[in-house]
Amino acid sequence: MEPNSLAQFFHPLFVSPAAIAYKLIAPPMLYGLHGWIATRMAVGALFHPYQTWYYPGTKIAIPLTPGIFPKRKHKLAQAVAATVTDTLLTPADITEKVETLLIEQNLYLTTDAFIDAVLKEFRDTSKLHRLASELAELSPAILQHLVESSIDGLEKKRDRNVQVIVEKIFDHMILPMRISLEQSTEIASRLMEAFITPEKVRNALITLLSPQNINALDESIQAHAGGPYKILAKLIGIKRVCYEWRNFLEKEPEESHRIIGDLVKRFGIRDQIALQIANFDLRSMPLQNIAKLKGNVVSFVENFLLHNRASIMEAVKVGEGAGMGTVRSAIIRFNPESIPAPFLERAKRSISTFAYSYLKRELGVLLEKAIPALGMYALIANKIDLFSSEQMESLVKRICSKELQALEYFGGAIGILLGFVQILINCVAP
């Protein structure tokens, strides 16, 4: 600065040091105060006023009312929701995070906690009785729906539930089933009473010893027997013996009954039948015979269900009362402590393994359906939109209060700098 300029700047007040200090200090202070107040008002305008202000006596809104955030709250909510769902929390991010958490150990811990919580509830008598009553009331409807849907599936040939169930029952119950000697003896006794009575044996022998069969027997012996046997048959007179035995059976029924009964007893027919039944094992049959038998059992059950639908549904309705009582008593009598620990542990492991394999295979499909159904965008937008202006201000200030305060100080600093610039300008161009 040239000496003449300084002299001109200080000449009017050259004799007053206070005036010189005022001229050097006042502009930075005033500019700094102005910058701080202006910045503080700008920050305040972000949130205040909360409501729209109007010119007195009119419905004309005063500019900048309400504040920027209250006025744009709805658009701010949408922008934040879009940012979160499109950038910060995308379906791919959720899927990746879930896959990292989806390990068999985590599923086992979840299954273990769930089953333990359920078993704990069973120890509460009042809850147990209430559960028993509710399930008992629901059981008839479930049973009816199960039977109807199974028969409908058979009629329309759209599922194989009945076939699968019958095959499993056959493989795990019927095929390995063995009958004890006591049971087989009882069965043999019933067979003897129903089919091998002396009267039925006598009638069967009379039918067997018909003239046609006797002639056929004689012709077969003559055609196929060796020389000595053929001579012996002629000496005995096979045809004559058969006719005399037939006449005896027809004319002496009572005597025939006694002879047949005595022979059956002496031959031990009942014990022989019982022994054969007890020794019979389906698994010893050829595989093709077992498969054919299984198919016949399945066909029999399916045909029975199809042709007796009305009777089956009626029987289900008739058994509703007994079914409800059975379900209720079974639940009430259930004691969680009676479950063996190894079985419970094995069940937990099996459930967690099944859940892990299922989720590992179907997780992508499930999340594709679940994430849009959650409505994350709408949920976040609605949450923010429901914030009051006070809550919005408190939230923003809680996050960046130091930054807002620094912004006010920065406005003051800019004002002070402009004050010094003004002094320089006054010095250069007084």
pLDDT in tens, 292-320: 998 899 899 888 888 888 888 787 777 66
Report if residue 355 sits inside a domain.
yes
Contact 425, 23 (CB under 8 A): no
Q: What is the pLDDT of residue 85?
A: 73
Report if residue 301 sits inside a domain.
no
Report if residue 412 sits inside a domain.
yes
**C-beta atoms surrounding 26 within 10 Å:** 13
Phi, psi of 177 (to 5 degrees): -70, 135
The residue that leads in pLDDT, 260 or 394, is: 260
Q: What tens digit of pLDDT does each residue of 252-280 get?
A: 889 988 998 898 888 888 899 999 888 88
Element (H, E) at 413: helix 389-428
Identity (one letter) of the amino acid at 59? K
At 252, list the tokens: 């002496």
Q: What are the percentages of helix, strand and coil residues in the chain, rounded to 5?
A: 85, 0, 15
Residue 54's domain comprises 3-68+406-428
Same domain for 40 and 96, yes or no, is: no
Cα(68)–Cα(45) distance, integer angstroms: 7
Number of domains in the chain: 2
Question: Crossing angle for the helix pair 287-307 and 161-169, nearest 10 degrees?
Answer: 130
Report if residue 17 sits inside a domain.
yes
Report if residue 24 sits inside a domain.
yes
**DSSP assignments along 189-258, one per residue:** HHHHHHH--HHHHHHHHHHHT-HHHHHHHHHHHHHHS-HHHHHHHHHHTHHHHHHHHHHHHHH-HHHHHH
Q: What is the pLDDT of residue 112?
A: 84
Same domain for 359 and 410, yes or no, is: no
Please measure the distance between the N-terminal and C-terminal CA atoms of the chain and give it in whole angstroms. Answer: 12
Same domain for 17 and 38, yes or no, is: yes
Same domain for 84 and 63, yes or no, is: no
Contact 225, 234 (CB under 8 A): no
Q: Is the pTM of this model over 0.75?
A: no
Q: What is the 3-state secondary structure (H, E, C) of 31-85?
A: HHHHHHHHHHHHHHHHHCCCCCCECCCCCCECCCCCCHHHHCHHHHHHHHHHHHH
Report if residue 398 sits inside a domain.
no
CA atoms within a 13 Å half-sphere pointing along the CA-CB vector of 321: 1
Report if residue 294 sits inside a domain.
no
Work out the pLDDT band at 425, boundaries 50, 70, 90.
confident
Q: What is the pLDDT of residue 41?
A: 81
Q: What tens digit of pLDDT does each residue of 193-245 get?
A: 888 888 998 899 888 888 888 888 888 877 777 777 677 777 777 788 888 88
User: In terms of C-beta distances under 8 Å and separation of at least 24 residues, what long-range contacts does 253-262 make, across chains too?
Assistant: 253/199, 253/202, 256/198, 256/202, 257/198, 257/199, 257/202, 258/198, 260/198, 260/201, 260/202, 261/198
Q: What tens digit of pLDDT does each residue of 63-89 get?
A: 777 777 777 777 877 887 777 777 767
Work out the pLDDT band at 57, boundaries 50, 70, 90.
confident
Question: Cβ contacts of residue 99 below 8 Å, gap of 6+?
Answer: 363
Report if residue 94 sits inside a domain.
yes
Same domain for 77 and 51, yes or no, is: no
